[in-house]
Structures are given as structure tokens and as C-alpha cells.
Structure 1
Amino acid sequence: MARSYSTDLDSLFSFWGLKGVLYAALAMPLLVWSGFLFPFITTKIIYFRLLVEIAFGIYLILALQYPEIRPRWNWLTRTVLVYLGVIFVASIFGVDFSHSFWGTVERGEGVVTILHFVLYFMILSNVLRTDKEWYRYLFTAAMMIAFTALYGFAQLQCYGFNPLAGDSICSLLLPSQGTRISATIGNAAFFAAFVLFGAFLSLYLTRGASNRFLKVFLWVVVVFEFYIVFETRTRGAVLAAAAGLVIFCLIALFKTKKFKIKALSFGLMGLLLAVGLAIYFNRDAGWIKKSNTLERLASISPSDVTTQSRFDTWGASWRALQDRPILGYGYENYNVGFNKYFPARIFKDQGSQIWFDRAHNIVLDVAVASGFIGLAVYLGIFVAGLWVLVRLFRRSDVDWMEPTTLAILLMVYFFQNLFVFDTQATYLMFFLVLALVVHLHKKYLAGAATPGASYYPGYIAPAIVATLVFAAAYFVNIEPAVANRAVTSGILASKLRDYRAIEPAFKRALSYGTYMDAEFRQRLVDMTLDAVSSAPPDKFSDEEKNEMFQFTVAELEKTLKETPSDAKHHLYLMSMLNRLPNNPEAVDRVISLGQEMIPLSATRPQLYFELGQAHFNKGEYDLGLEQFVEAVELSPTTKESHFNYLLAAIIAGRENIVVEQQKILEELGYELRESEYESIARAYFQAGNKQKVAEYYELTVAADPGNAGYRAKLAVAYKDICQVEKARLSVDEAVRLDSSFVVEAQEFLRQLEEACGK
């Protein structure tokens, strides 16, 4: 029922509380808690979604009463909402709606999270109504980013610090991403994109600085943050920053009348151009190699491994898009399309990243997820935002620098996203900037608002809203957070070698039935394999190991049933089943899974490794060798493909193939490590060739002479061929290297005498 309601909105405690929640949301990028699986993601997204749900509940009630904070429609707001609608519809008609809606633990996205960011955008663009309010909010955001930049700078200074060396501030910092700084974001590329927002927002704020000290301070922040972007060694972000500065300087040359600014702009453009040319023409110079960032920039070429991987990934993305061009595969289902056209060339070795859930290109990511319709609407968001800023740029009553800075920020953000993808921190800043553009549109371009009716909500509406907010908070955030915490306790138990605590922890986590279950089960595989292979019998009996193994297999079967379109789940289950000894049903299941996986990802060498192993477990050596040949043909220059084929040939007794593969490995420039020599020795043991077993354990020991375990195994190999003196020397050397072998050595020597009679 409409009624007059005269209470001043700004005097309401609830309205101030709403603003407080919006300010609290800015702390999201700072939060990391190691108690979660994927702590850099889960901590942030749980916190942010909870705050948005609270904010939306308060906003909804207030908007009923106060028309002035209701949305005022414009093309930018409409386009954002249409994009949300398109990705929702695309997900309904995609390959896995549940996966699209909830997303994954690792990314923390899904339609549900994008919905929260859109709600944040809608609330922010209508609750902050004055320039003063916006300046304070933007300044808070800029200072939060500046803090993360300082954090990254501290990581840079602490690189190489040994936390065991003594007390230091370095021991309090989060670990960086290898040699690249990542602050509280957890990834150098994401951190660079985030800091770019800070640099340009600080530049934007310089125009509204209330005093000279604040203006100088903000300029210092701008320079410092561009330096931090450079130190992240993120090539896309560095190039985007440089391009953005050049565009800004070009515009400044024509817009400003001040000679000093023209001179500075011209000088900065000249400096950036000179540095770029110097890097290009001196790529092998010593001064380039002394800077990790410059060396990475100089290494950009079509033959660069990272560049090749990007091109291969983009090619697979384009082929996947052609299968579903209208609405794509659904949000968060990029991996399904990528798997189907997996480029085998990116499998360089066992450490290669072979599971991609993003194209590392925002255009292809959006297109594969939501088709050309989704891509058109997504690009429309930038067009709508830039059109508002261009109109503001043309106005005489608007400082040209403000719309210019925001327009360049949007372009820089889009450009660097051509080589990476978004995370929570960059989404937060992107939707904040969009809300700011909406505010500027209201201030300068929109007509007078039509007064709306005020509705007193009474008590029922707030009670309903509170119930819905609580339900959303519990099912969307609290329950997944509790489940996530349970899994980390299981992972901790594994690290502490408390093997009996692992399975109960995972059972507790999986009992909640959250969207995180599939990733929990993948971690369960790692914990199970570690427990089965390394747990001593007194801490984890064979019966307990078998029970845990069977539990893991059963859980993987559930994942496969829930998500049959993801080839990754097939491969996980095949790998586990192949480890069950003397189990014909398991072997048949592996072969059946392999046939199911072929339409999903026929070009993955790992598929044929598992199929080959399954056929070998059945004693079907010829069929098994055919699978290993398939893997070699897919990855003809990869060490693992040839080495696995070599091991299979040894077991099958095809010495001609063994010699051939050894020659190919040598021609490809690969050298075998001690672990690989041992694998060959084990294969010969399985084939019954004891002489070769001893020969390859000799090579194993030669590659790692200080390893007592290898010495002991060589002694056993010598015993099996009754080379008594060599066996004794080897076991003596094992005892010398590790005195714990004494008792076993005495028993070994007794067995040696019995076996060989000497």
C-alpha cells in the first residue's frame, strides 16, 4: 500500500548499516584463511556473498520505502542485467546446469556468484548518490589496493627468505607465487590486473583531491602501483598498462592547455616507445636478462612455450565454439568443450597443465560459455559504459581527465583479459567501476527522476526477506564453508600421517552434498594413494587401506554419475581402478570407461596410457601396445609417451621395441633419471629378466649413489642372479649409508647364503 513516508533516509541506522556492509565488501581481496581448500578463493567468495546477501536484504526493504534509491534504468544497467539473463539461459540449455550455477571451489564463480556481483553493482549504483560519497568509497577502494601493492612489495623484498632463519616480518607474509609476487590475491597475473585498477582509480581521484598533499600522495600511489604491476612479471598486464599510458598521453596532448602537462605527456610517450624498441632490438642483451620482467617481455614470440600453449588453447576453444555457437556450453562448462578438442601438443611432460577450465582469453571464455549471443551482450557492457564516458568527455562542464581515465581503465582491463581471466578481486573492481559510470550518467546525462510511491513494508515483508537471506546465506555459503573446512582437516590429517582420520573427515565433508563434492573427491584420490603407498602397517593396516580405496572408488563413481560430461572424472576413476590388483571387474570397468571417454576427449594421451595398462592387466599385450602406440602418435616428442611405451614393451617381451624407443628418447635429447631407471628395472622384474633387473639397478645407483634404498634393492637383484660378492658389497654400502638397515642386512646375508650356497 502506498503512503507518505517522510523520515530522512540518511538518518536511518539501517541505511548507515547498508553503507557499512558495502564498505566491508571492499576488504574482500585482503582475506585469506588457510583453513579452507583454495584459501585465496574460498575465503574471499564466502565473505563477499554473505555481505551481498545481507546488503540486498536491507536494500530491498529500504527501496520499498524510499524511491530515491530504486534503480534508474539506463543502457549500461540494462545490458548488465541482460548479460546475467543470457548466461542463466545458456546454462539451462548447456551441458551441465548444476555445474554452471554453482561453479567450482577452485574458481568460486558460477552463475550464483555473478548474480551476487550484479546485485552489488545494482545496490552500489543506487545507494551512493553524491560525489562526496563516491569519492570516499573510491578512496577507500584505492587505499585497499595500495595496501595489497605494499604487501606485494614486501614479498618482493623477502624473496629467498628462509622462515627458519629467525624472527622477521617476512615470516608473517603469505608465500608468493614462486618468484612472482601475488600478495593476498594468490596469483601474479590476477594481482597485476587488480593493481591496475588501483593505479587508474588513484589517477581518477587526483582530480578531486581536496588539498595538495592528498594530490601528491595519490600521484605517488599511481607511480608505485605501476611499478608493482611491472614487478609481477605479467606480460599482458605490463603491455596493457603501457598502452593505456600512451593513450592517456595522446589525449592529454590535445586536451590540456598547460605546457608542462604536454611536455610530460610527450616525454612519457617517448620513454615508453624507446623502452619498447630497446627491448625488441636487444632481446639477448645482458641488461635484459638481469630483469625478469624484461626477459619475459623479450621472450614473447610464436615459438615461446607459453605463447604456443595459448594459441593451442585458443584453437581448441574456437573449434568447441563452432559446435555450440548460439548459447555455448553453459557458464563454467568451458572444460567440456576444451576436452573434446584437447591439443595434445601442450602435454610436454608429467608436470604439464593439461586440465583447462578457462581459455585465458575473455572473448573465447565468454563465447564458449554463452555463445555468440552471450559474447555480444558482454561486449555490449563495454560499449554502453564507454559510450557514457565519451558523452561525458565531450561536455564542457566535465573535467576531461575523469571520463578519460575511466575509459582507459575499461580498455586496459579488457586488453589484459585477452591473456588471462577474472577472479573475485577483479570482478569486484570491474562492477565498482560500472556502478561509478552509472552514477556519472545519472548526474550529467539522465533526466529528472520521476517520483515514485513509497510503500511501508510493515513487519511481514522484513520477516520474509530476513528468512530468505538466512536461507541463502546457509545453503549458498555456510554449509559449503563447513564442508570445505572438513576437507582441510582431512588433508591436514594426511600431512600429519594420521591416516585413520582421513576417511572420516572426507565422509563428513561429503555428507553435506554441496557443489564442492567433485573437487573434494579429487583430493580424496590424492590422500588415498598416499596412504595406500606409504602408510606403515602398524599405522594403517592392509584391511583399512582396502576399505579406504573402495570408499574412494565408490565416491568417484558418484561424481561420474553426477557429471558424466567431464572427461576428467573418467580419467580419475580409470587411474584408481587400474591400481586394483587381480580384479577382472575393475579392468573391464576401466576399458568401458575408456570407450565412454573417447567421444569426450579422444586426443588425450593419458586416456591411452590407462587403456593400455588395463589391457596389460588382462594379459592382452598386443591390444595394450596398440594403446601406447596411440599415445605416442598423439605426443611424438613427449618423453612420457615413449617411456611408457618402452616399459610396456619390456613387460610384453618386445625387445626390438625397447631398443627402438631407447634410441628415439636419445635422439629427442632426453636423459633418464634414477627413478626412471628403477621403473625399467621393475618392468624387467615383472617380465622375469633378472639379469636386466640388476643391470638397471646398477644404473639407478650410479645416478643416485647416496641412496641407501637403491643400494639395498641392487643387493636383492644381485642375490637373484647369485652374484654373491656384489650383493654383499651392495648391502654393506646400504648399511654404511643408513644404519637402520643393519637388522635387515643380517637377515639378507643369511638368505643369500641359503639361496646361492656361498
Structure 2
Amino acid sequence: MISFFQRYKKHIDWFVRAMLYLGVVMPIVVGVKYLFPFVFPKAVFFQACVEIALLGYLALVLIDKSYLPKINALVVLVGAWMASICLAGIMGVDPSFSFWSKAERMDGILWYFHAFAFFVMLIGMMRAKMSWIRFLQWNSIVGGAVGIAALISKYAPGMFALGDQTRLAGTFGNPAFLATYFVVLFFIDVLLFASADSDNHVRRVWFVLALFSMMCVFLSGTRGAYVGVVAGIIVALAGIALSAWQKYKKIIAIIAGIGIVLVVSFVAFRGFWNRVSPFFASRVYSVWNIPKPRLIVWGMAWDAFKDRPLLGWGSENFMYAFNKHFNPDVHTYEMSIFDRPHNKILDLLVAQGLFGLVSYLSLFGYIASKLIIAILKKRNSERDTLICAIVLGLFTAYFVQDLVLFEMPTSTVALFLLFALGYWVLHEQSHSVAAQLQENRVSAKKNTVVVKNG
């Protein structure tokens, strides 16, 4: 068996990569014959891709240990968060439901096992810069197809319809989940644009796709995504300004100027925007108006957290907390039963307790701190520092938009893709710094020899 794996190592390597590439096609998958056509088929498709890829990956690890990812602080923190999900589920009020979840959400422990395996295989297989660039390029191309399908469904439903498209929802069936997907894609497209050589005409494709992703975010009408994108852009621009102001000051000034003009125009010409684009204006002007039912449910979630503060109620068990701490005032505004608090922080506190929240925040905090240090120290090339700033903006945008949302299969895949991307970027910048230090040491030795000989 070992000799067979060794003989076909290149083929197995190619096959595993192909399955990982296929896995990120999941946003396109829709099963109209299923009760939850926009969730269940996607999750099953992705799980199948991961399981098949895992068989090949284990074969590669068996014959070549270099495929195993190097254990660092980021991997440990991802593992700690996974441990909190598992432990909270086992100790929760309904361990079986925490493990399997339901077809409407597909967000149980089993699903996170697949997402974690996806993360491990990404950082184990994508070890070269070009491997990551190609994978991100493929992801962006898939995103372009997803966006086109969404636009056709909304503006030309005669070709094919995907349910209610009052707001752009596409193959996600929900505009908020579509917005999360395109928030991530926007920054990835910008990253691809920034990482390409200036004389490379293909970089124009990533610029166009970045604008397209931004358009999809705004057409979704998702206010949390609006705030997330703006926060991410501000953080990314701040990072670029701190690291390479002289080179990019014109670009920063133009983007900042456009932002200021838009803000002033929305404040000073409210009537104009209401006439020109009533849908967009209504979403922007209500961006800070959190619906009353959400606020009431947030209070219920906080009370539930105080019941089980350490490990929470277990994944997927918010309905038990909702029933126990039910506040009838919520039905004054909306006759709904909430199975999520619609806030990532409260969702973590209820589902996984303090252990889950601390491990999750530690992940984001670690990545952000490392990226900020890399930006401020300016030890890398300008391009590497630029990439660090963009990735920092990406993590900021994702974290902010999630403050009024929760994870679904598509967003979970995006999240673990971000963790893997963070792993690669941090590894690249540390490798670049080490190489630069080595070069400086060699140069210093040469100068010393010259001085001595002189």
C-alpha cells in the first residue's frame, strides 16, 4: 500500500487539491427539491468534498510528513476553539442536537469537524505562495459566477428564479449570507490586485471583480455588511498609511476623499438620495436602527449566558435558552421563534460560554496583533506589508459584520479559509523577515572582511 501511494504521490497531491478547489464551489449549489434548498445541499456537498480529499491527504501524510502543517500559536488557537465547541456540545443540554444540528442550519459539531479538516488540509497542501494565489484566484472566479447568478435571479427571473429576491440573495436564499460572502470576496479581490505585478494585465480582472463584489454587498441591502466593509477599508488604509505613506498617499487621499464626499452628501442631501435610490438610502439611513426584537432577544441571550457561563448551553441549543428566558415583549414586534441571538458574541456566550468566547477572540486578537506588528516594523517588502494591511482589513470587516449575524455553512467555510489565509500570510512575513535578517548578517560579515583586509 505504501509503495502504491509513493508511486502515485503526484496524482494523489493533484487529486486532493482538486477536491479542495471543488469544495469552495459550494455557494453555487442549490437543491430545489430539498426543504432547505439553500443550506442543506451546500453543506452535504462541501462535507463530501472534504471527506474525499481527507482520504488522499492522509495517504500523503503517511508517506511524507512534510504535508503535516507546522504547529504554531494560530493552529493551537484554532484547535482550542474547536475544543470549546466540542466540550460545550458534550456538556450542553442536548449533545445529540449539538453534534448533528438540523437541515436548516447544518452548524453542529460534525460540520465544524469538516471545516477544521478543510483548514488543516489548506495549510498542509498550500505551502507555496503561488499555490495560495491560484486558490484565491479560483475562489474569486467562483464568486463572480455566484454574483452573476444572483443578479440574473433578481433582475431576469424569467431565466431562472431562486425564491424571494426583494433584496439580492442569489443562491444563498438570504441577503445577509450573500453579503458576508461578498465582503470576504471584496478584500480577497483587492489582495489579488495588490499582489499582482503592475505590468500584469490580469490584475485588471481582480480590480473589476473587487468592484463587482462591492456592488453585490450594497445590492444585498445588509446594513451589518455595509458597516463591516467600511470598517475594514478604514483599517486597511490606516495600515497602508503607516507602512508606505509616501508611495500610496495619492491613492489613500482619493479613497478618503470619496468617502468624505459620500458621508457629507448623505448628511446634507438626504432628499436627493431618497429620490435617486430609495432602497439604498433607506438601508444607509437606518444602519444604526437595530430592530426591537433583536434587542429583546439579546437580553434573553444574556440571561441565558448567566445561567451557564463557563461552557454555555451547547451548539445549536439556543432554542432551549429562548424558551426558558422567553420575553413576551418580542411578539409585540415580530411573531418569530429565534434559534440564534443574531450577534456573534452573544451566540458564542450562549452556545460555548466564556471558554468559547475567549478562544474565538484570542484567534482574532492573535492574528490582528501579528499583522499590526508586521505593518509597524516595516521589515518586509512594501508588497508584503500591503498584503498584511489588506488581510487586517479583511479580518476587521468579517468580525464587525458578524456582530449582527451568525455563522452558516458558507460563512463558516469563509471563516476557516480566513484562518488558513492568516496562517499563510503570517508565515510568509516571518519567513521574509528571517531571510532579510540573514541577508543583513551576510552583508555585515562581508563588510567586516573588507574592513579587515583594508
Same fold (TM over 0.5): yes
CA contact (8 A) 1:388 1:437 kept: no
CA contact (8 A) 2:311 2:353 kept: yes
Aligned equivalent of 2:226: 238
Residues of 2 paired with 1:78 and 1:353: CA distance? Answer: 42
One-letter amino acid of the structure 1 residue matched with residue 341 of structure 2? A
Q: Secondary structure at the match of 1:425?
A: helix
CA contact (8 A) 1:29 1:424 kept: no
Aligned equivalent of 1:291: 278
1:153 corresponds to 2:151 = yes
1:386 corresponds to 2:374 = no
Aligned equivalent of 1:713: none
Of 388, 408, 433, the residue aligned with 1:403 is 388
Aligned equivalent of 1:35: 33
Displacement after TM superposition at 1:173 (Å):
2.7
Aligned equivalent of 1:312: 296
Aligned equivalent of 2:444: none
CA contact (8 A) 1:177 1:188 kept: no
Residues of 2 paired with 1:212 and 1:272: CA distance? Answer: 28
Aligned equivalent of 1:127: 125
1:80 corresponds to 2:42 = no
Segment of structure 1 superposing worse, 92-101 or 292-301? 292-301
Residues of 1 paired with 2:110 and 2:223: CA distance? Answer: 31
Residues of 1 paired with 2:352 and 2:116: CA distance? Answer: 17
Q: What root-mean-square deviation, in Å, do the aligned CA atoms of Structure 1 and Structure 2 show?
A: 2.5
TM-score (norm 2): 0.88
Distance change >3 Å, CA 252–CA 228, structure 1 → 2: same
Residues of 2 paired with 1:22 and 1:413: CA distance? Answer: 22
Residues of 2 paired with 1:390 and 1:384: CA distance? Answer: 10
Residues of 2 paired with 1:381 and 1:357: CA distance? Answer: 25
Q: How does 1:206-605 map to 2 (within 5 A)?
A: 206-210=193-197, 211-258=199-246, 261-280=248-267, 283=270, 285-288=271-274, 290-300=277-287, 304=289, 306-348=290-332, 352-393=334-375, 394-398=377-381, 399-445=384-430
CA contact (8 A) 1:330 1:370 kept: yes
Cα distance per residue 1:520-570 (max 9 Å; x no partner): xxxxxxxxxxxxxxxxxxxxxxxxxxxxxxxxxxxxxxxxxxxxxxxxxxx
Distance change >3 Å, CA 265–CA 388, structure 1 → 2: same
Displacement after TM superposition at 1:353 (Å):
4.3
Displacement after TM superposition at 1:59 (Å):
1.2
Displacement after TM superposition at 1:439 (Å):
2.3
Unaligned runs of 5+ in 2: 435-454
TM-score (norm 1): 0.54
Displacement after TM superposition at 1:440 (Å):
3.1
1:200 corresponds to 2:187 = yes
One-letter amino acid of the structure 1 residue matched with residue 339 of structure 2? D
CA contact (8 A) 1:155 1:183 kept: yes
Displacement after TM superposition at 1:280 (Å):
4.3
Segment of structure 1 superposing worse, 27-36 or 428-437? 428-437
Displacement after TM superposition at 1:34 (Å):
0.7
Q: Secondary structure at the match of 1:40?
A: coil
Displacement after TM superposition at 1:397 (Å):
2.5
Aligned equivalent of 2:451: none
CA contact (8 A) 1:185 1:191 kept: yes
Aligned equivalent of 1:182: 169
One-letter amino acid of the structure 1 residue matched with residue 395 of structure 2? L
One-letter amino acid of the structure 2 residue matched with residue 336 of structure 1? Y
Displacement after TM superposition at 1:66 (Å):
0.4
Residues of 2 paired with 1:251 and 1:436: CA distance? Answer: 18
Identical-residue share of aligned pairs (%): 27
Aligned equivalent of 1:536: none
Residues of 1 paired with 2:113 and 2:416: CA distance? Answer: 12
Residues of 1 paired with 2:190 and 2:222: CA distance? Answer: 21
Q: Secondary structure at the match of 1:172?
A: coil
Q: Secondary structure at the match of 1:173?
A: coil
Structure with greater helix percent: 2
Residues of 2 paired with 1:237 and 1:397: CA distance? Answer: 31
Distance change >3 Å, CA 56–CA 7, structure 1 → 2: closer
Of 137, 141, 145, the residue aligned with 1:143 is 141
Larger Rg: 1
